[in-house]
Amino acid sequence: MDRRRFLGSAALLAAPRIVFAKAATERRFVFVIQRGAADGLNTLIPYADPAYASARGALAIDPASALKLDGSFALHPSLEHLGQLYAARQATLFHAVASPYRDRSHFDGQNVLESGGTAPYQVKDGWLNRLLGVLPRNGKEAIAFSPAVPLAFQGVVPVTSYAPSALPQAHEELLMRVEQLYAQDGQLHALWSSALEARSMAGGMGGGANRQDAGALGRMAAGFLGRADGPRVAMIETSGWDTHSGQAARLATQLRNLDKLLAGLQEGLGPVWDQTVVLVATEFGRTVAANGTGGTDHGTGAVAMLVGGAVDGGRIVADWPGLSAASLLDGRDLKPTLALDALITAACAESFALEPDRLAPVLFPSGGPRPPVPRLLRA
């Protein structure tokens, strides 16, 4: 396949964490991070590239079983709901995407992705927190649905946390007694009221099984985001994408859970889905060739997704570098041709009606010139 541009016509999610923030807009922005380096070549399959099947070997996915999107790319068969969103023009998929990071450490790669630096530990706070800093402040700026706030949301804008318990739900009578106990304590009463409000937004969800259910996780996130007085920005962490061995079955499970997560978000948000933008990205991709244990190792170029009712979708954006041996980065990786920071900047700017040129140095203060990204959202 010649180099060209196409602008065409989680194991279970492990200990997922959700982070919420509030902004004065009807748009909802959700960042889903795939921790562990998700394999883009078997997520958005370049089946028409003549080198794909031979380079992937036994890991190559038969185009007959994949969800063909056009004459060049197909989705993994586990991504059935995403395929429906693409057909409904509510998903745009980006291939050969990467952050500025070019080494192969998960910790360093995730640090670069979340901080917005060009090198690990160069920037101390996160680009999502800096985004909050330029949005209107309305009191409840952010809440982290996790034991700890991820780096992308760390910074000067306060972020509190709410973690679902693996214990059984407390009886309403017990909650009422605690409410009465704290009623005369100004500090504890405020904290307890905030916790109950978060519990209400989550639909009272609790218990270890639900925490592992990707669809329930999406519906829980929607319980927060769908409220008129709820948050407008979210981050959802998924893990388990480091498929060094047994990739075929493991990746299928991961992608199926991602698909359920997106379906749960859409279902839970209802009409609010039309105002929603979901960005899915990973710290780096994986090697083109399989290793000796039926998996792939740490690579470079990856896949990113923009999904939601507000997305002007039904497109694949890929300045495709090809998979021939001469086209690979370092002789092993998909060569990146689209900057992930440019995509993030464009998605955030369009979501919140901000000027991209002014927003870029806020989100990515160490970055250089960024190539333009086509319009992403509906007018």
Q: Identify the pLDDT of residue 263.
A: 98
What one-character-per-residue DSSP string does 52-109 give? Answer: HHHHHGGGPPPTTTSEE-SSS-EE-TT-HHHHHHHHTT-EEEEEEEE-S--S--HHHH
In this structure, is the dihedral angle defined by the CA atoms of residues 145, 148, 150 and 155, taken in order, positive or negative? positive
- Partners of 280 in the β-ladder: 32, 305
Q: What confidence tens digit (pLDDT) does each residue in 3-49 have? A: 333 333 332 233 456 666 766 678 999 999 999 999 999 999 999 99
Mean of per-residue pLDDT scores for the chain:
85
What is the Cα–Cα distance from 89 to 168, expressed in whole angstroms? Answer: 41
pLDDT band at 372 (very low <50, low <70, confident <90, very high): confident
CA 116/CA 121 separation, integer angstroms:
10
On whether the pTM is more than 0.85, the answer is: yes
Tokens, residue 368: 């250089």
